[in-house]
Amino acid sequence: MSRQIIVGNWKMNGTTRDSQALVQALLGKVTADGPEVVICPPFTQLALLASTVEPSPIGLGAQDCHKEVSGAHTGDISPAMLTDLGVSHVILGHSERRQEHGELDETVREKAVAAAKAGLTPIVCVGETEEQRESGDHFDTLGWQIKGSLPDGFSGILAYEPIWAIGTGRAATTEEIAETMTFLREELIRQFAEAGKTIKILYGGSVNDKNAASILSIADVAGTLVGGASLKAEAFLSIISAASAA
C-alpha cells in the first residue's frame, strides 16, 4: 500500500486560541515517516497557522477557492492568495458547498482547473444522497459527478463522501465503501485511461478513531477526509496512526 493521506476538514470551527492549541497538540506527534497529513482550517486561521506548521511535516489546506485569480468577487479567496500563504491543498465541491451555496459540477471543475494552475492540489469531493443510494442511482450519480467535476488531465485527489453519512454519526459499512471504491476506480480508469489508475481516492463520512483502521484497510482507500474528529487532537492522531506510511 502506498503512503496514505489524512486530511482534516475543520469546517467553520476554530478561533485563534483553539486553532493554535490544536496544532500545538499535533506538532511533534506527526512525523515525516508517517502518512501525509493536511489540516484545512477556516480562511481566518490560514496565515496564523502557516508559520506554525511550516517547519513540521503537517501540510496546510483550504476549504474552498474561487476560479479567478483576482477581481470583483466580494468575500471570495483566489488560488493565488492561498499559495501566497503557503497552502498546498484545497477542498473543492464538498457536499456542504454544493448544498448550501448551490455549487454545480461545472463550478467545481472550473475551480479545480484554477487551483491546479496556481500549484495547489485540488481535493474534489463527490457523493450521493440517501435517496439516490436507496433508489439505486448512486453509481450513476457518482459517475456523472466525476465527469462534470474533474477536468481533463486531472492529477489531484478524489474524495468520496456519502452525503447520508456526513455529520450523522452513521458511517457506511466496509462492504458499501469497498463496493463504491471499486466502482470509483473503474470509473476513473474509464474516463482518464491509464492516469485513472493513480488518482488517489479518499473516504469521508463520519470517520473517527474507532472506524478509521477498518476503513483505511479497504482496497483503493488512499486516506480519509476527516470532519469532526479532526478537531480533537487525540482522535485525529489515532486516525493518523491507523494510516499506512509505506
DSSP conformational letter for 196: G
Contacts of 204 (CB under 8 A, 6+ apart): 9, 125, 127, 159, 160, 161, 166, 224, 225, 226, 227
Could you say which of 36, 103, 128, 161 is catalytic? 161
Cell, residue 160: 468520496
Q: Is residue 87 classed exposed, middle or buried when 0-12, 13-18 and 19+ CB atoms within 10 A define those classes?
A: buried
Sign of the torsion angle spanned by Cα atoms 147, 149, 153, 154: negative
- Single out the catalytic residue among 89, 94, 103, 138: 94
Q: Say whether 103 is catalytic.
A: no
122 strand-pairing partners: 90
Phi, psi of 30 (to 5 degrees): -95, 115
* Residue 192 burial (CB count, 10 A): 18
Nearest residue to 128 (alpha-carbon basis) of 180, 194, 185: 180
Whether residue 40 contacts residue 9, with contact meaning beta carbons closer than 8 Å, is answered with yes
CA distance 37 to 198: 19
The span from the CA of 96 to the CA of 98, in Å, is 5
194 counts as catalytic: no
Catalytic residue positions? 94, 161
